[in-house]
Each structure stands twice: as structure tokens, then as C-alpha cells.
Amino acid sequence: MVELSEPSDPFRDVRELVRSRDRAALATALPQGAWPYASLVLVAVDHDLSPVLLLSDLAEHSKAIAGDPRVSLLFDGTTGLAQPLTGPRVTLLGRAAKTGDDRLKRRFLRHHPDAAMYAGFRDFSFYKVSLERSHLVGGFGKIRWIEPGELLAQAPLPDLAASEEDIVSHMNEDHADAVQLYAAKLLGLAGEGWTMTGIDREGIDLRRDGDAVRLPFEAPLPAASAARQTLVALVQRARAV
């Protein structure tokens, strides 16, 4: 469950909700305007919050996107609440288009390693959703539309996106003990085998089997060069717990 804080930076909490989810409900318009269609999809979110999807060309939502690229994705943050309607959920609206960007493909597959089994099939394609608007329901009476400029107050760091794969590989291969510390001490998670799947200017993503979790930084990275110092500081914080 993600709780939205008030009033410090509510949009950072919205970003964290979106980034912490590895699946969403995708709504598309079936061909010829027959019916709206909703389905469950796996999702990875890029540094600029653009959702990335891997879809079969044979799926109904892919056929719908081919005729009308407008989509919406619902990210649900109400898990574990006795009264789910008091919890936060965010709908991102945008236009989906196939992408051949290898960086986006690799980012998706780090977040969903099992998808590598079928990602190379001819009838599967990667899509990037270009955001146009979002809608927040933060609980009863906490409802508003958010424009892209509001939602992403700080621009992503291109250098961090370019070096992300190397950072993640380095942490998993050379500092696996640090990743376990993040999970156990800072997030209170049991078990070994946690791996880092992503890093952006506001936090890191971890995964163990079917569990995907998010560890936010205390403050956004001012530059890509600050990533190492921040990761070391997290280790020190974890050891002090």
C-alpha cells in the first residue's frame, strides 16, 4: 500500500505509486467504437514516467491500439486496506506506439525477467505510452487531474538513464550484499535473492521472484554522478538500523 502524504510533495507520492507497481489495468477502445476494453498488463515505467508495455499482436488490446492509440492505465495503491476506496489510485492517459528503443526493452526485461522467454517472438511488440494527462484519486475527496508538467516536476537525468544498466549490473554482480541490506534493513523484507532492477533520480527498484518493491531516496539525485554516493549512503544507513 502507498500512502499519499500531505501537503509536502503529493506529486512525488503519486510518482512513487506509479513506479512501485509492476502491473496495471490497461483500457483501450475496441475497433469501430464497439466497446471499451480493460485488461491486466505488465508494465515498467521509464525515467520520464512513460509506461512501457510488451504486448502480443494477437491480443485484443493490441488490435485496439492499432486502430486508436489512446489508452489509459490504472495503477492501484489500495492493496491491504480494509476500505480500499480510501486508498490512492492513479490513471495515466496517453497514446501508445510501438517502440524499437533497446534501452526501453532492456529496462522492461530487468523489471520482468520472465518476459524474456517470449519477448523475442515475432508476434510480440514493445510499446511506449506518451503521457498526456493523469487522474489521481487519493481517497475520499482527494480527486484531481494532473498535467504532465505538474506530475514530473523535475526533468529526468539522461546520463542516469544511459548508465542505468551498468549501475544495476554492478550492484547485482559486485555488491549483492548491499542489495540484500536494502531489502532487509530499509524495507523490512525477509529472504535472500533480492536484485536491483532499476534506478532513477528518485529511488531504486528491487525484485525477488514475483515480488517487486520500491526504495525511494530521501531526496532526488541532483545529477547522475551522485548515484554512487547515494547508494553507499543507503548501505551505511542500513547497517545503522
Q: Which three cell numbers stand for residue 33?
A: 467504437
Cβ partners under 8 Å of residue 125, min gap 6: 54, 55, 57, 62, 98
CA–CA separation, 201 and 125 (whole Å):
28
Residue recorded with cell 496495471: 24
Grouping H, G, I as helix, E, B as strand and the rest as coil, residue 63 is helix
Q: Which three cell numbers stand for residue 89?
A: 489510485
- Each residue's pLDDT tens digit, 178-217: 999 999 999 999 999 999 999 999 999 999 999 999 999 9
Domains and CATH numbers, the chain: 10-151 (2.30.110.10), 158-240 (3.20.180.10)
Q: Name the band, by pLDDT with cuts 50, 70 and 90, for residue 149.
A: confident
What pLDDT does 33 receive? 67
pTM of the model: 0.92
